[in-house]
Chain A
Amino acid sequence: MKLTLDIWRQKGASDAGRFETYTVEANEHMSFLEMLDVLNQELIGSGKEPVAFDSDCREGICGMCGFVVNGVPHGPVDNTTICQTHMRHFHDGERLRLEPWRAAAFPVLKDLVVDRSAFDRIIQAGGFISVRTGSAVDSNAMLVEKNKSDRAMTNAACIGCGACVASCPNAAAALFTGAKIAHLGLLPQGQPERTDRALNMVAQMGKEGFGHCTTIGECEANCPAHIKLEAIAQMNGDFLRAVFAKREESAGGGAG
């Protein structure tokens, strides 16, 4: 099959960037990224600069890949990373527009490559359970309901690719942050730090320049890890509870 690709080309963070048009011959068994590999080999062969895009595992789990195809993060196949999207979902003669995640908090580094370190800083703000190496009790000393543990796992499955932000008209990071808060908040081990976790992670989200969630739901539709909007509800609940808890704490402090 022959495809026409309009690809965002941008030399570096300070370059303005523009679309350039290429054609490529692909077949239906290739993955989308293998199709881009083929294009890049041709570009190099004809003395041109290949298109920069991120990928590593190419199995849909590392979260490294990701760009927008015809306006949809990770392209047209629902809940699937672009590295796991195969060309049989496209047809001969199709024209595709490839551009990077667009969000103030994810500056473009080059072509389709963006800087997602804001996500790391959100996790650093509270996405953990503090336990010193070697100080853990026997795993079966604390029983966890299977149902809760399964739900924690469902939220923990987030791959941190950033498609939720790229899908959101407000460029909010609520699904990403909510997934971590829900994962840890559903487990007994996550309870002691639950209040601070919600406050600190939500505050960091704001500092990084992500927008506000208005529950449009585009993020859920595009999430390759099937994270559900419930994660955001859980985050909002934890956040509100945390705000009240802090008020009581400081009121109590004043009285003492």
Chain B
Amino acid sequence: MSLNSRIPSGPLDQKWSTAKKEMKLVNPANKRKHTVIVVGTGLAGASASASLGEMGYNVLSFAFQDSPRRAHSIAAQGGINAAKNYQNDGDSVYRLFYDTIKGGDFRAREANVYRLAEISANIIDQCTAQGVPFAREYGGTLANRSFGGAQVSRTFYARGQTGQQLLLGAYSALSKQIAVGTVKQFSRTEMLELIVVDGRARGIVTRDLVSGKIQSHLADAVVLATGGYGNAFYLSTNAKGSNATAAWRAHRKGAFFANPCYTQIHPTCIPKSGDYQSKLTLMSESLRNDGRIWVPKKKGDTRSPDQIPEAERDYYLERVYPSYGNLAPRDVSSRQAKYRCDEGLGVGPSGLGVYLDFSEAIGRLGQKVIAERYGNLFDMYEKITGENPYQVPMRIYPAVHYAMGGLWVDYELMSNLPGLFVLGEANFSDHGANRLGASALMQGLGDGYFVAPYTVSNYLAQGGRVKVDAGAAAVKDAEKEATGRAEKLLAVKGKRTVDSFHRELGNVMWENVGMARSAESLNKALKRIPEIRDEFWKNVSVPGTGAELNQELEKAGRVADFLEFAELLAWDALQRNESCGGHFRVEYQTPDGEALRNDADYAYVAAWEWKGEGKRQELNKEPLVFENIHLATRSYK
């Protein structure tokens, strides 16, 4: 199938205004006759629901948490980028665009990224007007900090709780619409199936997580803003409930899955402490503004860090990348940490850790300033490890963090299934093979506030949909699939817990599909994953019934989907015979260990098409055309 990305023609900086000009509008009086389903209340979903509701559409909003305010976006720490150039340090829309394309290792669509950079400033204004308490200077203007992969200071923040504050802003706008009745909220409700009628997305099937009731909801368009799939690795910085189910179910109904192998491993997380570990905790990249990363120069140096003199420390990021230093992008920094630990220079009990040291910054700026900038992160570190980072350096190690891949969407954020829109981390569109810090929040809110309201309207205005009857075969079949799957999971009555399967899958993924991948390791994973999946369906133990609050059943459904999705991730990684961004194939590297891209053969988006149970997905390629920037080898030296 050929993919139409619907990128408007014309110069890059006019594409979005041209598109908006040409979009069709829905008559104000007709808006409330259109129902739009939005699954997800993170930054992308909440901002879309609030905006669509405010425009007058009848919005149904879903989340599996007990309140829309608890979506995983709440955990984002460091900040949100915008090309405001408030610092007068040479920032511009073009520079943000260029940094993002380069940061993504030239594997993102130019037009989408440019639009994102263009609307970035509006996002900050919208949030400020909602009462988001961004950090400010003494003069009362907004403050900025720097993030990796950029030489300008364009990151806006609210202490170390930027995601929380942005989400509470979007949640407040959503709450207002719930109060006036344009949005109906369904919390503790999980989407289990997509309903497709005549080739268009027309609804979803959900399970009420309290009563267990399975029910369908019909609409004129369905928006998925369901977040990323990092938990396919079991241990990640994502919230426990983050999952791939909504995206995967849509994929099985025909939506293409793009670039699943692009997974981001974040360099600064608290190392794992034991087998019972349930998740990994991120220490925001913003810490690299003032923290210096190092390992001892000598192998097996067991002295406490303050006993190791300067001359015997290797500040390896500063050494290898003199111009970006500790602010090298995430993929690059993670890989360098892995190299040091592979060389036997890692610190901490497991040898899987490097130091992130603030002593120099505390000496220069004082503890008070550091506490003001990162206080809550330091507290979190101390709560988890029992060590005080004002006194001893933090120990950090890379962990799975973000999904650049996701459902394929065109310029209007619509998937190849008409009527299905995908926003935020759930889509693949803006970050290529590696996302720069503070750009996910920007993208989520950009998609929800400033793109989807136009493009969803444009779709609705074009009509062409018949009314769907609640008793239609497509609806009943989707309900049966959801019910059948839950019954099947409950009926296995095996011996192993859901978590034990999830952990096993996670281990296979981390060892073979993690920071360094090879054809050999990927083939190993591709052999193991189906074996684990087979055993899961024969031997999983899901206690209780489907007609009650049953957390094991919820997890079982998500793990069942991860067990299918993970195979596609590994397969995509095996087919991409190059290294780019977060996808590092050991066979393809430069002599000094940097990613070696192959633009001649792989400058495309891999969009995978479901071909049925037990069959390999089919590859559809969307060539990436770079009209405005020159493909270069990424260098941060």
A-side residues, CB < 8 A to B, are 11-12, 27, 29-31, 33-34, 37-38, 41, 44-45, 47-50, 52, 54-64, 77, 80, 84-86, 88, 109-110, 113, 115-117, 119-120, 123-125, 127-140, 142-146, 149-150, 152-153, 156-157, 159-160, 183-184, 187, 189-190
Kindly provide the distance from the CB of B587 to the nearest chain A CB, expressed in whole angstroms.
37
Interface residue total, chain B, C-beta cutoff 8 A: 77
Kindly list chain A residues whose C-beta atoms are within 8 Å of the C-beta of B131: 129, 152, 156, 183-184, 187, 189-190
The 8 Å CB contact of B165, one of A86, A143, A153, is A153
A34 touches B179 (CB 8 A): no
Which parts of B124-152 form the interface with A (CB within 8 Å)? 124-126, 128-131, 133-142
Kindly provide the distance from the CB of B514 to the nearest chain A CB, expressed in whole angstroms.
21
A124 touches B175 (CB 8 A): yes
B373 at the interface (CB under 8 A from A): no
B50 at the interface (CB under 8 A from A): yes
Which parts of B158-180 form the interface with A (CB within 8 Å)? 158-159, 161, 164-165, 168, 171-173, 175-176, 178-179
Kindly list chain A residues whose C-beta atoms are within 8 Å of the C-beta of B239: 56-58, 62
User: A52 vs B84: C-alpha distance in the bound complex, in angstroms?
Assistant: 46
Report the nearest B residue to A122, measured CB to CB: B175
B70 touches A84 (CB 8 A): no
The 8 Å CB contact of B74, one of A27, A50, A57, is A57
A110 touches B548 (CB 8 A): yes
B291 at the interface (CB under 8 A from A): no
Known: A153-B133, A160-B69. 13 other contacts (CB 8 A): A59-B75, A61-B74, A109-B210, A116-B67, A124-B178, A134-B122, A136-B126, A140-B141, A142-B128, A146-B138, A149-B134, A187-B131, A189-B131
- Stretch in B253-261, B277-285, B466-474, B483-491 touching the partner: B277-285
A136 touches B549 (CB 8 A): no
B497 touches A45 (CB 8 A): yes
B133 touches A139 (CB 8 A): no
The 8 Å CB contact of A44, one of B134, B158, B273, B541, is B541
Kindly provide the distance from the CB of B112 to the nearest chain A CB, expressed in whole angstroms.
19
Kindly provide the distance from the CB of B168 to the nearest chain A CB, expressed in whole angstroms.
7
Kindly list chain B residues whose C-beta atoms are within 8 Å of the C-beta of A109: 210, 549
A123 touches B499 (CB 8 A): no
Kindly list chain A residues whose C-beta atoms are within 8 Å of the C-beta of B158: 153, 156
B11 at the interface (CB under 8 A from A): no
> What are the 6 tightest A-B residue pairs by CB atom distance, in nearest-first order?
A143-B140, A128-B172, A136-B129, A153-B133, A136-B125, A139-B128
A64 touches B273 (CB 8 A): no
User: Assuming the A-B contacts A110-B548, A120-B175, A131-B129, are A146 and B69 also in contact, with contact meaning beta carbons closer than 8 angstroms in the complex?
Assistant: no
A12 touches B549 (CB 8 A): yes
B142 touches A140 (CB 8 A): yes
A144 touches B136 (CB 8 A): yes
Kindly list chain A residues whose C-beta atoms are within 8 Å of the C-beta of B165: 153, 156
A30 touches B126 (CB 8 A): no
- Stretch in B378-386, B429-437, B572-580, B611-619 touching the partner: B378-386
A56 touches B497 (CB 8 A): no
B130 touches A157 (CB 8 A): no
Contact with A along B224-241 (1 / 0, CB 8 A): 000000000000000111
B66 at the interface (CB under 8 A from A): yes
B136 touches A11 (CB 8 A): no
Chain A facing B: main interface SS: loop
Kindly list chain A residues whose C-beta atoms are within 8 Å of the C-beta of B386: 86, 88
B172 touches A129 (CB 8 A): yes
Kindly provide the distance from the CB of A210 to the nearest chain B CB, expressed in whole angstroms.
16
B453 at the interface (CB under 8 A from A): yes
B-side residues, CB < 8 A to A, are 47, 50-51, 54, 65-70, 72, 74-75, 84, 86, 122, 124-126, 128-131, 133-142, 158-159, 161, 164-165, 168, 171-173, 175-176, 178-179, 185, 187, 210, 239-241, 273-274, 276-279, 281, 380, 383-384, 386, 449-450, 453, 495, 497, 499-500, 541, 543-544, 548-549, 551-552
Kindly list chain A residues whose C-beta atoms are within 8 Å of the C-beta of B172: 123, 127-129
Kindly list chain A residues whose C-beta atoms are within 8 Å of the C-beta of B179: 124-125
Report the nearest B residue to A80, measured CB to CB: B383
User: A29 vs B241: C-alpha distance in the bound complex, in angstroms?
Assistant: 23
A134 touches B70 (CB 8 A): no
The 8 Å CB contact of A56, one of B65, B84, B139, B141, is B65
Kindly provide the distance from the CB of A165 to the nearest chain B CB, expressed in whole angstroms.
14
B497 touches A44 (CB 8 A): yes
Kindly list chain A residues whose C-beta atoms are within 8 Å of the C-beta of B140: 143-146, 149
A63 touches B142 (CB 8 A): no
Report the nearest B residue to A123, measured CB to CB: B175
The 8 Å CB contact of B276, one of A30, A58, A77, is A30
Kindly provide the distance from the CB of A177 to the nearest chain B CB, expressed in whole angstroms.
13
The 8 Å CB contact of B65, one of A29, A62, A131, A132, is A62
User: A45 vs B541: C-alpha distance in the bound complex, in angstroms?
Assistant: 8
User: A143 vs B142: C-alpha distance in the bound complex, in angstroms?
Assistant: 8
A29 touches B66 (CB 8 A): no
User: A77 vs B210: C-alpha distance in the bound complex, in angstroms?
Assistant: 30
User: A187 vs B134: C-alpha distance in the bound complex, in angstroms?
Assistant: 11
- Residue picked from A54, A86, A134, most chain B C-beta under 10 Å: A134
B133 touches A57 (CB 8 A): no
User: Assuming the A-B contacts A64-B66, A143-B140, are A149 and B126 also in contact, with contact meaning beta carbons closer than 8 angstroms in the complex?
Assistant: no
B449 touches A134 (CB 8 A): yes
User: A11 vs B211: C-alpha distance in the bound complex, in angstroms?
Assistant: 12
Kindly list chain A residues whose C-beta atoms are within 8 Å of the C-beta of B129: 129, 131, 135-137, 189
User: Assuming the A-B contacts A137-B125, A139-B142, are A84 and B380 also in contact, with contact meaning beta carbons closer than 8 angstroms in the complex?
Assistant: yes
Report the nearest A residue to B143, measured CB to CB: A146
B67 touches A160 (CB 8 A): yes
User: A52 vs B479: C-alpha distance in the bound complex, in angstroms?
Assistant: 26
User: A116 vs B68: C-alpha distance in the bound complex, in angstroms?
Assistant: 12
User: A131 vs B125: C-alpha distance in the bound complex, in angstroms?
Assistant: 11
Kindly provide the distance from the CB of A37 to the nearest chain B CB, expressed in whole angstroms.
6
The 15 sampled A-B contact pairs (Cβ below 8 Å) are: A12-B549, A34-B278, A63-B70, A84-B384, A115-B210, A117-B187, A123-B171, A131-B126, A133-B50, A133-B450, A144-B136, A150-B136, A152-B131, A152-B133, A153-B159
Kindly list chain B residues whose C-beta atoms are within 8 Å of the C-beta of A139: 84, 124-125, 128, 134, 142
The 8 Å CB contact of B67, one of A120, A128, A134, is A120
Kindly list chain A residues whose C-beta atoms are within 8 Å of the C-beta of B137: 146
User: Assuming the A-B contacts A127-B175, A156-B165, are A58 and B279 also in contact, with contact meaning beta carbons closer than 8 angstroms in the complex?
Assistant: yes
Kindly list chain A residues whose C-beta atoms are within 8 Å of the C-beta of B495: 45
Kindly list chain B residues whose C-beta atoms are within 8 Å of the C-beta of A160: 67, 69-70
B136 touches A149 (CB 8 A): yes
A37 touches B278 (CB 8 A): yes
User: A23 vs B475: C-alpha distance in the bound complex, in angstroms?
Assistant: 47
The 8 Å CB contact of A128, one of B65, B159, B175, B552, is B175
Kindly provide the distance from the CB of B134 to the nearest chain A CB, expressed in whole angstroms.
8
User: A88 vs B382: C-alpha distance in the bound complex, in angstroms?
Assistant: 12
Report the nearest A residue to B51, measured CB to CB: A133
Report the nearest B residue to A204, measured CB to CB: B179
B86 touches A140 (CB 8 A): yes
Kindly provide the distance from the CB of A32 to the nearest chain B CB, expressed in whole angstroms.
11
B75 touches A132 (CB 8 A): no
A120 touches B164 (CB 8 A): no
Kindly list chain A residues whose C-beta atoms are within 8 Å of the C-beta of B450: 133-134
Kindly provide the distance from the CB of A140 to the nearest chain B CB, expressed in whole angstroms.
5
User: Assuming the A-B contacts A37-B499, A61-B161, are A128 and B126 also in contact, with contact meaning beta carbons closer than 8 angstroms in the complex?
Assistant: no
User: A237 vs B126: C-alpha distance in the bound complex, in angstroms?
Assistant: 29
User: Assuming the A-B contacts A63-B70, A127-B175, A146-B140, are A86 and B383 also in contact, with contact meaning beta carbons closer than 8 angstroms in the complex?
Assistant: yes
Report the nearest B residue to A60, measured CB to CB: B380
Kindly list chain A residues whose C-beta atoms are within 8 Å of the C-beta of B72: 56-57, 62
Report the nearest A residue to B125, measured CB to CB: A136
Kindly list chain B residues whose C-beta atoms are within 8 Å of the C-beta of A11: 548
Kindly list chain B residues whose C-beta atoms are within 8 Å of the C-beta of A140: 86, 141-142
B66 touches A54 (CB 8 A): yes
User: A47 vs B543: C-alpha distance in the bound complex, in angstroms?
Assistant: 7
User: Assuming the A-B contacts A41-B497, A84-B383, are A187 and B133 also in contact, with contact meaning beta carbons closer than 8 angstroms in the complex?
Assistant: yes
Kindly list chain A residues whose C-beta atoms are within 8 Å of the C-beta of B171: 123
